[in-house]
């Protein structure tokens, strides 16, 4: 796949940009001097350290030879999490490492943090690093155990940060915690903590067993978001593959076909998170307009590639390249039609200075995309560029 694209800021200005190199530039630029990794630049929509985003960005950094940056991030997190005090790995932190929490008990964060630490070890091969992380690893594992009931991890919210949709036993959270525990067990084994290694691996396998037993639709042969909304299509149904819980190409093909049918935007392209207003009926969860998400479309592309579905892969990659074409090679969180954006704007009631500033930026740079006026929200987003790097460089578990 060619990463070089022609980009345009206006009808009169065009130049070549390497999207992979642009992505490397973006993820590198988001790291602060203290090691924290922001979700967006400081003057954009999300100038915080979101645990989920930052871990995924660290994985991208590892794959482009910047493992030192990842190490610095995990030393930052080691200081920030203060698990003995907070009893939780928070959704987000300020640039100085203080909690800035809007969604409590979002338990994919624990699994992701463990996974990111081990991923960084795989790239630096330094036992000193995981020795320094050991106390944090132990405390995070204990948190996962404390949130476990009936063989699964319970949460208030998950990847979409929406309690109504995600409270309970969520697929994304449990897959993340499975991965985190498996990786923590490997860390324990390397450091000769054999008892912990065996116990944590056993717990991970128990979660996997219950994911397969309780969160799998035998009729459709796909995993479901949760048991409260088993018929609601959601991009997080790719979680078992994203976190390496299962490796079944037939189930993966079924899942991709199901998501393509229900949440691919046939008008503007790209994958949405879920069906609009099916469960999430609060306008606040459509900030910047509903639209199609770059990171999620890049994830889908990775799995189309895995099952050798060239048509699906090409469609996703073409869309990502088109999005970046109109934005100097940058990938936003999502794009939405101007109509969808205006609809959100007229209904939203939770404005703050940060969001108002992003609105001004987005409205100044409305794009003409596939014959529609399009708003680019949170541009650039580190997660979007990180997933593009993982798509191009690979993401072995």
Is residue 275 in some structural domain? yes
Number of domains in the chain: 2
- Whether residue 257 is contained in a domain is answered as no
The residue out of 195, 214, 233 marking a domain boundary is 214
Q: Could you tell me the pTM of the whole model?
A: 0.96
Residue 60 has a pLDDT of: 98
Q: 3-state DSSP call for residue 7?
A: strand
User: Is 39 domain-assigned?
Assistant: yes
pLDDT digits (tens, 9 = 90+) for 122-145: 999 999 999 999 999 999 999 999
Domain boundary among 180, 214, 248: 214
* Co-location of 2 and 109 in the same domain: no
Question: How far is Cα 32 from Cα 34, in angstroms, rounded to an integer?
Answer: 5
The verdict on 160 and 189 lying in the same domain is yes
Which pLDDT score is estimated for 389? 98
Segments forming the whole domain that contains residue 381: 1-16+262-397
pLDDT at 234: 98
**Comparing C-alpha atoms, which of 301, 368, 373, 286 is closest to residue 333?**
286
**DSSP code, position 228:** S
Residue 41 falls inside a structural domain: yes
Question: In 113-151, which ranges are E strands?
Answer: 148-149
Question: What pLDDT is attached to residue 8?
Answer: 63
CA distances 193 to 131, 134, 186, 197, 199, Å, are: 11, 10, 10, 6, 10
State the pLDDT at residue 3: 78
Residues 140 and 67 in one domain: yes
Residue 234 domain flag = no
Which of 156, 184, 214 marks a domain boundary? Answer: 214
Give the per-residue pLDDT at 349. 82
Terminal C-alpha separation, the chain: 23
Residue 246 CB burial class (10 angstroms; 0-12, 13-18, ≥19): middle
Same domain (yes/no): 63, 11? no
Pair (8, 124) in one structural domain: no
Claim to verify: residue 279 and residue 386 sit in the same structural domain = yes
Q: Give the CA count within 13 Å in the CB-facing half-sphere of 268.
A: 26
CA distance 360 to 157: 30
CATH number at residue 186: 1.50.10.10
- Indicate whether 206 and 102 sit together in one domain: yes
The list of the chain residues with pLDDT below 70 reads 1-2, 4-14, 395-397
Look at residue 13 in the predicted model and tell me its pLDDT. Answer: 60
Q: Would you say 117 and 138 are in contact if contact means Cβ atoms under 8 Å apart?
A: no
């Amino acid at each position: 796949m060619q990463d070089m694209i022609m980009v345009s800021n206006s009808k009169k200005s065009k130049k070549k940009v390497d999207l992979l190199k642009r992505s490397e530039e973006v993820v590198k630029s988001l790291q602060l001097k203290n090691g924290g990794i922001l979700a967006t630049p400081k003057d954009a929509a999300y100038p915080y350290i979101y645990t989920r985003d930052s871990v995924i960005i660290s994985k991208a950094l590892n794959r482009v030879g910047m493992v030192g940056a990842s190490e610095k991030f995990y030393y930052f997190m080691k200081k920030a999490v203060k698990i003995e005090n907070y009893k939780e790995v928070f959704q987000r932190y300020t640039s100085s490492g203080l909690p800035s929490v809007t969604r409590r008990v979002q338990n994919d964060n624990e699994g992701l943090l463990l996974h990111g630490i081990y991923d960084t070890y795989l790239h630096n091969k330094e036992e000193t690093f995981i020795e320094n992380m050991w106390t944090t690893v132990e405390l995070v594992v204990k948190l996962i155990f404390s949130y476990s009931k009936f063989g699964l991890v319970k949460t208030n919210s998950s990847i979409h940060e929406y309690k109504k949709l995600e409270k309970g036993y969520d697929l994304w959270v449990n897959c993340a915690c499975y991965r985190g525990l498996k990786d923590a067990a490997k860390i324990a084994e390397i450091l000769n903590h054999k008892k912990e290694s065996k116990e944590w691996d056993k717990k991970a396998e128990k979660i996997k067993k219950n994911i397969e037993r309780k969160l799998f639709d035998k009729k459709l042969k796909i995993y479901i978001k949760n048991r409260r909304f088993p018929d609601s299509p959601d991009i997080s149904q790719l979680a078992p593959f994203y976190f390496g819980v299962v490796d079944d190409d037939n189930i993966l093909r079924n899942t991709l076909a199901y998501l393509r049918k229900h949440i691919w935007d046939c008008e503007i392209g790209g994958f949405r998170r879920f069906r609009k207003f099916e469960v999430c009926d609060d306008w606040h969860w459509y900030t910047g307009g509903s639209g199609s998400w770059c990171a999620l479309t890049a994830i889908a592309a990775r799995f189309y590639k895995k099952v050798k579905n060239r048509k699906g892969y090409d469609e996703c990659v073409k869309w990502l390249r088109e999005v970046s074409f109109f934005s100097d090679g940058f990938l936003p969180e999502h794009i939405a039609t101007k109509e969808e954006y205006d609809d959100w704007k007229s209904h939203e009631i939770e404005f703050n200075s940060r969001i108002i500033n992003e609105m001004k930026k987005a409205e100044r740079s409305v794009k003409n995309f596939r014959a529609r006026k399009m708003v680019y929200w949170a541009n650039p987003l580190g997660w979007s560029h990180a997933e593009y790097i993982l798509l191009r460089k690979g993401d072995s578990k």
